[in-house]
Amino acid sequence: AQSVTQLGSHVSVSEGALVLLRCNYSSSVPPYLFWYVQYPNQGLQLLLKYTTGATLVKGINGFEAEFKKSETSFHLTKPSAHMSDAAEYFCAVSMIKAAGNKLTFGGGTRVLVKP
Amino acid sequence: ETGVTQSPTHLIKTRGQQVTLRCSSQSGHNTVSWYQQALGQGPQFIFQYYREEENGRGNFPPRFSGLQFPNYSSELNVNALELDDSALYLCASSSRQGAGNTEAFFGQGTRLTVV
């Protein structure tokens, strides 16, 4: 069975500073990897995903993530935080050979952006 | 193109009652998944429906059941409600089954409170 660990349930950054959210997964085989964002009182929106190919993935709103197989990690970064980035972020995996896209999520990291 | 819509947005039920939550999938999508998101946690997979058949289930008891209709909309039913069932219930639709890398589109969720 796969699992996802997000280090840090809360992260506080200053506007304009680097955003770094950590995600590690545990799986017998490399899975597909996703980052979702959840704004207050809303559902989840896909930021980016890794399936195959280039390990550095660019997503929406200036976010990117790098898949490192040797470290079983998929950390999310953004060079310069905006106030609008304040939200909760979830890392998720799904298994390549599984039928359907059943997602296993981490516990989430809430980002606070200080002016 | 309409997105994923869920109803109701909020409801309050008494312990022991039954509840039905509804989800209309995004146009062209034939797969619906349901997730439970307890306060402060990541979403947990409940089950998935593909072309009206259950296609995988998470670690939830049988009192959680579902349906998918010919138009691919779906219902989540929970019997004998318990206080721990209080959560945000998310519905996600996707365009095809059998591919773990398919993007899931989420609705805004139904906030269920059991008192």
At B81 the pLDDT is: 98
- What is the pLDDT at residue B112? 98
Contact B96, B105 (CB under 8 A): no
pLDDT of residue B1: 55
Give the minimum alpha-carbon distance from B5 to chain A in angstroms, rounded to a whole number: 10
Look-up of token digits 């809303």: A42
Tell me the pLDDT tens digit for each residue of A22-74: 999 998 777 889 999 999 888 899 999 998 888 899 999 999 999 999 999 99
In this prediction, residue A53 carries a pLDDT of 83
Contact B101 A94 (CB under 8 A): yes
* Residue with the larger pLDDT of the pair B75 and B98: B75
User: How many beta-carbon pairs below 8 A join chains A and B?
Assistant: 87
Strand partners, B19: B78
Chain B hits for A43, CB-CB cut-off 8 Å, are 4, 90, 106-109
A30 cis-preceded (ω within 30 degrees of 0): no
CB contact under 8 A, B45 and A41: no
Average pLDDT, chain B: 92
Using CA coordinates, name the residue in chain A closest to B10.
A41
Tokens 């209709």 sit at which residue? B69
pLDDT digits (tens, 9 = 90+) for B7-35: 999 999 999 999 999 999 988 888 899 99
Task: Identify all chain B residues contacting A90, using CB atoms and an 8 Å cutoff.
Answer: 42-43
Please tell me which of the candidates B100, B104, B109 has its beta carbon nearest to residue A98.
B100
Instruction: Tell me which residue of B92, B105, B80, B111 sits closest to B35, measured CA to CA.
Output: B92
| Arithmetic mean of pLDDT, B50-73 | 93
Q: In sequence order, what are the beta bridge partners of A92? A: A34, A105
Nearest residue of B to residue A52 by CA position? B101
Looking at the predicted structure, is the pLDDT value of residue B75 above 90?
yes
Q: Which residues contact B95 (CB under 8 A, 6 or more apart)?
A: B28, B29, B30, B31, B102
Which residue carries 């034939």 as its tokens?
A: B30
Is the pLDDT score of B2 beyond 60? yes
**pLDDT at residue B97, as a whole number:** 55
Task: Give the mean model confidence (pLDDT) for residues A10-23.
Answer: 97
CA distance linking residue B67 with residue A3, whole number of Å: 28
